[in-house]
Amino acid sequence: MGIQFTGMIGHRLASEIIPAQGPLFDKKYITSFAQAHEQAGFDRILVGYWSDQPDGFLVTALAGSQTSRIKFLLAHRPGFVSPTLAARKLATLDHLLDGRLAVHIISGGSDYEQRRDGDYLTKVQRYARTDEFLRVLQQTLTQQQPWDHHGDFYRTEAAFSAIKPRQDHLPIYFGGSSPEAIEVAGKHADVFALWGEPLAGAARTVEAVRASAARHGRKTGFSISFRPVIGATEAEAREKAAHIYQTAKKQLTESGHHFGLPKPQSTGAKRLMDAAKQGEWLDKCLWTGIAGLVSGGYNSTALVGTADQVSDALLEYYRLGIDNMLIRGFDPLNDATEYGKQLIPLTREKAAAEPVLSESV
């Protein structure tokens, strides 16, 4: 399969450096954003999940109807929709997209945000529920006869879905960095998603997830997320990063937007904060400025440099066995277009010259 690139689309123009513009559900922007990724050569687009924002199923449906090749990765939190109903919704959406769907399962790293939707389970309980959710989901997607389930979180009698995914197998992406998350990932994940941490930490996580998967007789692929900042020279790229930091700091102060922070239950947020405490610049070109500014609350680390330097940095992660790169910019739509001009084709060219990743699925 080679190296894969995933982008991320939102439902309106907004970022750390751009105040929210247009209607909250901006159909024209969603369409343009998705088409920009397709034209730039991305393989897939992530549609995120927030407890106070438009429904991701419908954002994905709209974007999918306006594209033809690019695949989609829909974020979904277990606990608010029964797994049997979630399976039917996902299978139906996969047919609408002609087999271009994958689902990204996120158990939730913030008690505060979970409770906004009425979920009062602890973090450990959420991962136990996710484990059971995925077992029921997979059965619903594959069973050809009605079946019963009696678990700790879900009970069904004669459950059955007449509609199955268009694909033979709906890919399951999985996020979470705690020991509980890694155990669930080993059982269920086709692709395990990391936030953009330094190489040493990423390597340890890859090995831990591989070991978890091996205990269940499985293998898994890996994805990692970065916010590339590209310049014609390294100096120009670092100047852009400094401008992004100052603009983001000003905007976050003026807006009072806190991204649901802090996230004391999130191991991933803690890992990004630990990286930020190590220094603003790590490895060759990993920048933690925005991660420190937002307390590691989401995928906020950046790779900063020329397209050649950033592609080399991505290649270091590729050599760890991470073959899926989720990249998104601080000027979201325009950066997606820019990545397609140099960064994506250059990184693909370099990765093609590398040995085949034997551990990938």
Give the pLDDT confidence of 235-251 residue by residue, as tens digits: 999 999 999 999 999 99
| Residue 361 near residue 210 (C-beta atoms within 8 A) | no
Give the pLDDT confidence of 196-209 residue by residue, as tens digits: 999 999 999 999 99
Cβ neighbours of 330 (radius 10 Å): 23
Give the pLDDT confidence of 70-86 residue by residue, as tens digits: 999 999 999 899 999 99
| Residue 220 near residue 186 (C-beta atoms within 8 A) | yes
Going by the DSSP 8-state scheme, the letter that residue 325 receives in this structure is E
pTM of the model: 0.95
d(CA 213, CA 357) in angstroms, rounded, equals 17
What is the SS3 assignment for 330?
Answer: coil
2 sits in which H/E element: none
| Residue 11 near residue 26 (C-beta atoms within 8 A) | yes
Is residue 361 over pLDDT 50? Answer: no
d(CA 192, CA 206) in angstroms, rounded, equals 9
Mean pLDDT, range 204-228, rounded to an integer: 97
d(CA 294, CA 249) in angstroms, rounded, equals 9
Mean pLDDT, range 41-48, rounded to an integer: 98
Going by the DSSP 8-state scheme, the letter that residue 51 receives in this structure is T
- The residue written with tokens 């990184």 in the block is 347
Which pLDDT score is estimated for 266? 76
- The residue written with tokens 């998350």 in the block is 181
CA distances from 14 to 10, 33, 68, 81, 118 (A): 8, 12, 25, 28, 27
161 sits in which H/E element: none
Per-residue pLDDT band for 357 (boundaries 50, 70, 90) equals: low
Percent of the chain with pLDDT over 70: 95
- CA terminus-to-terminus distance, the chain: 9
Residue 224's DSSP bridge partners are 194, 325
Radius of gyration for the alpha carbons in the chain, expressed in angstroms and rounded: 20
> Which two three-digit tokens encode residue 233?
């020279």
d(CA 133, CA 219) in angstroms, rounded, equals 20
> Which two three-digit tokens encode residue 152?
């700790």
Question: CA triplet 71, 141, 47: central angle to 5 degrees?
Answer: 30
d(CA 344, CA 151) in angstroms, rounded, equals 45
Least confident of 27-31, 177-181, 285-289, 311-315: 177-181
Give the pLDDT confidence of 82-140 residue by residue, as tens digits: 999 999 999 999 999 999 999 999 987 777 778 887 777 888 899 999 999 999 999 99
- Taking alpha carbons only, the member of 272, 282, 355, 340 closest to residue 7 is 340
d(CA 156, CA 136) in angstroms, rounded, equals 9
- Cis status, amide bond into 54, omega within 30 of 0: no
Mean pLDDT, range 244-265, rounded to an integer: 76
Counting every residue, how long is the chain?
Answer: 361
Mean pLDDT, range 143-157, rounded to an integer: 96
d(CA 72, CA 6) in angstroms, rounded, equals 9
Per-residue pLDDT band for 265 (boundaries 50, 70, 90) equals: low
Which pLDDT score is estimated for 117? 75
Is residue 360 over pLDDT 50? Answer: no
CA distances from 88 to 5, 56, 143, 286, 345 (A): 27, 15, 12, 41, 37
